Amino acid sequence: MSIAVNAGSIRLNKTQPAIRLTPRPVLQVRSSHSEKKKILFVTSELTDLIKTGGLADVSAALPRALGTLHDVRVLIPGYTQVLRSGHAIRVVGSLGAQAEIPACRIGRMDMPDGLIIYVLICPELYERDGNPYGDGHGNDWPDNPVRFARLCLAAAEIAAGTACIRWTPELVHAHDWPTGLTPAYMHWRGLRTPSVFTIHNLAYQGNIDMSLRRALALPHEACGVERMEFYGKLSLLKAGIAYASHVTTVSATYAQEITTEEFGCGMEGFLRMKARQGLLSGLLNGIDESWEPQSDPHLVRGFSACDWQGKAANAAYVRQAFGLEADASPLFAVVSRLVQQKGIDLTLGVAETIVANGGQLAILGQGEPHIEEEVRELARRYPGRVAAHIGFNELDARRLFAGSDFLLMPSRYEPCGLSQMYAQRYASLPIARRTGGLADSIEDGLTGFLFDQTSVDSYRHAVLRALEIHQRPDLLCGMRCRAMATGFFWRHAIAPYDHLYQQLLGVHREVAHAIS
Ligand SMILES: Nc1ncnc2c1ncn2[C@@H]1O[C@H](COP(=O)(O)OP(=O)(O)O[C@H]2O[C@H](CO)[C@@H](O)[C@H](O)[C@H]2O)[C@@H](O)[C@H]1O
């Protein structure tokens, strides 16, 4: 299926009508808003408290960046890690049980920088060892449908003003499948509060058995094909897409890709319909202000453009910490969840080329057990040249971005990707597949290297181009400086969100007038 992109519309071969995707708005943030709007973010992870991937970074950074314009607060489940984070929690509200969704309390946590986080306290659902979604050994929590229905119902009750927390949002912004029921419960309660649902990764859909409908207090209409029904199941992700006032995803290219069979994970038809109605946008993610190579306290030594001694100090740390030989060879890095999406198998395929050309490879990540084992095996094959740390470690991640020459991201698909933005900021040139947000945030030959096919050959070609640049200090320095200057900061990326919120709130006001 060929796609031609033309001024914000996409054409799915010539026989089908053009469908409009909301073009990426180019807007200035207004310097002063007449009034800050109250916005509730609903999320299942947040970097300050608990993180498994990029969703946590966005959930932590976007509300803070938007905080200059609006009163943005966050709602998150009270996992053990959240309750034990050391931040004081004050109970401010409570909610009753419904169907098989247990009662809970709402705590308020005030972060030192002023961000207000509402914590859902429900010990039987959230207080256990493991991560937000499972036991950490590859097993999802069997009660995930109830756990995340509880979160979504709480958000809807806060929006309805029935949670007694003395703060009622004017707009609710939910993220990914765990929060997909939020706009749905809001709809079934008859709320007119607008909602935004952001897809960070369409492949994770939260598909559950139809028989759970009553347990989750879902009305019969939920089972319709235009609603939550998805191949005989109920999809929590599809609920978000179906009931939200507007759906966004995290890059313009991914917004187009998910309307195609190749990337649509079975939801492409539904998403095409949303796109046709002007209800689907792609808004590129940003990074927070802590990504500052000169002053980042995590680094062994800071550095700035063209002053590469600090970068070399971080590289020396990485080599030592990972057990690589101490030399000045091209250092390639992987900082990634080790899952199929990220194309780690392709990196295993180019490792030989890297080593044969005198390079080194340091891998930091965790994920699917069989990929972890393949990575370990690769490191055993090339001692001193390839090394792997299986785990999740923010300090080493930052030092790897700072110390490496190149970051490998051969993703099969990538809704946005943050690691390539972090890497560019720290003068590590990404080598990535031209897909999703990677295509939108890397300039081939200028700030990194892009390749087209999901194949080792296509990838190897990009790696060889990078190795050639490494031989040319003048060109390498030029690309590094350009990459460092990209600065995809949230402060530049919030304007489209603000515009969307204002649009929805405007529409909402009109509807309210029409009805009253
Ligand atoms: N072992 C490790 N130790 C320390 N840190 C590690 C780590 N492995 C990964 N990380 C960190 O986790 C984050 C990963 O973010 P990404 O956006 O690259 O991918 P992810 O697939 O999780 O996110 C999904 O959501 C985000 C947010 O929208 C989209 O950008 C993305 O495309 C989509 O797949 C980065 O902060 C990275 O540094």
Q: Tell me what pLDDT residue 34 has.
A: 59
CA angle 492, 494, 495 (to 5 degrees): 85
Nearest atom within ligand 1 for CA of residue 415: 32
Compare 436 and 23 and report the one with higher pLDDT.
436
CB 229 within 8 A of CB 171: no
Question: What pLDDT is attached to residue 26?
Answer: 32
- The whole-angstrom separation of Cα 75 and Cα 51 is 15
Tokens 């709320």 belong to 191
**In 3D, which of 220, 249, 248 has the Cα closest to residue 234?**
220
**pLDDT computed for residue 487 by the predictor:** 83
Any atom of ligand 1 within 6 Å of the Cβ of 325: no
Three-class DSSP category at 240 = helix
Q: How confident is the model at residue 178 (pLDDT cuts 50, 70, 90)?
A: very high
Can you say how many angstroms the Cα of residue 475 is from the centroid of all Cα atoms in its chain?
A: 32
Whether 61 shows a pLDDT value over 70: the answer reads yes
How much of the chain exceeds pLDDT 70, in percent? 91
For the CA atoms of 253, 454, 1, 18, the dihedral, rounded to the nearest 10 degrees, stands at: 10
Residues that constitute the known binding site: 51
Q: Is 473 a residue whose pLDDT tops 90?
A: yes
For ligand 1, is residue 47 a contact (CB within 6 Å)?
no
Q: How far is the CA of 120 from the centre of ligand 1 (A)?
A: 25
pLDDT of residue 511: 55
Check residue 63 and give its pLDDT.
98
The per-residue pLDDT for 18 is 31
Q: Which two tokens stand for residue 217?
A: 């207090």
What count of other Cβ atoms lies within 10 Å of the Cβ of residue 247? 23
Pick the atom of ligand 1 nearest to 437's CA.
Answer: 32
Is the pLDDT assigned to residue 188 strictly greater than 80? Answer: yes
Q: Which domains does the chain have, with CATH numbers?
A: 3-8+35-131+140-287+492-515 (3.40.50.2000), 309-487 (3.40.50.2000)
Segment 42-47 shows an average pLDDT of: 98
The response to whether residue 430 sits with its C-beta less than 6 Å from ligand 1 reads no
Q: pLDDT at position 35, please?
A: 86
- pTM listed for this prediction: 0.92
250 lines ligand 1 (CB under 6 A): yes
**CB < 8 Å & 24+ apart, contacts of 439-446:** 439/251, 439/253, 440/251, 440/252, 440/253, 440/284, 440/416, 441/251, 441/284, 441/416, 441/417, 441/486, 441/488, 443/482, 445/479, 446/479, 446/482
Distance 337 CA to ligand 1 centre (A): 7
Ligand 1: nearest atom to the Cα of 409: 18
- Asked whether residue 338 carries a pLDDT value surpassing 80, the answer given is yes
**pLDDT tens-digit map of 69-103:** 999 999 999 999 999 999 999 999 999 999 999 99
485: pLDDT confidence band, cut at 50, 70 and 90? very high
Locate the ligand 1 atom nearest the alpha carbon of residue 250 and give its number: 28
Cα 57 to ligand 1 centroid, rounded to whole Å: 8
ipTM of this predicted structure: 0.97
Ligand 1 centroid from CA 225, angstroms: 32
Question: Is the C-beta atom of 366 inside 6 A of ligand 1?
Answer: yes
Which residue shows structure tokens 């996409």? Answer: 10
Q: Once rounded to an integer, what is the mean pLDDT over residues 93-121? A: 98
DSSP state of 369: H
**What pLDDT digit, counting tens, does each position of 12-40 carry?**
222 233 333 333 333 333 434 558 999 99
| Residue range 395-407, pLDDT digits in tens | 999 999 999 999 9
Task: Quote the longest CA-to-CA distance of the chain.
Answer: 73
> For position 413, what pLDDT does the model report?
98
- SS3 category, 376: helix
Q: Which residues lie across from 107 on neighbouring strands?
A: 91, 119
Closest alpha carbon to 240 in 29, 467, 43, 12: 43
Arithmetic mean of pLDDT over the chain: 92
Binding-site residue set for ADP-alpha-D-glucose: 51
pLDDT at 497 over 50: yes
Ligand 1 binding pocket includes 200 (Cβ within 6 Å)? yes
Cα 509 to ligand 1 centroid, rounded to whole Å: 37
Q: Per residue in 266-321, pLDDT tens?
A: 999 999 999 999 999 999 999 999 999 999 999 999 999 989 999 999 999 999 99
Task: State which ligand 1 atom lies nearest to the alpha carbon of 418.
Answer: 17
Q: Which H/E stretch holds residue 334?
A: strand 331-338
- Tell me if 418 CB under 6 Å of ligand 1: yes
Give the pLDDT of residue 29.
36
Query: What does the alpha-carbon distance between residue 284 and residue 409 come to, in Å, rounded to a whole number?
Result: 18
Nearest in space to 400 (alpha carbons), one of 482, 473, 483, 296: 296
- Alpha-carbon gap, residue 157 to 82, rounded angstroms: 22
Beta pairing class for 386-390 and 207-208: unpaired
* Residue 374 Cα to ligand 1 middle (Å): 20
- 425: tokens are 């900021």
pLDDT greater than 60 at residue 330: yes
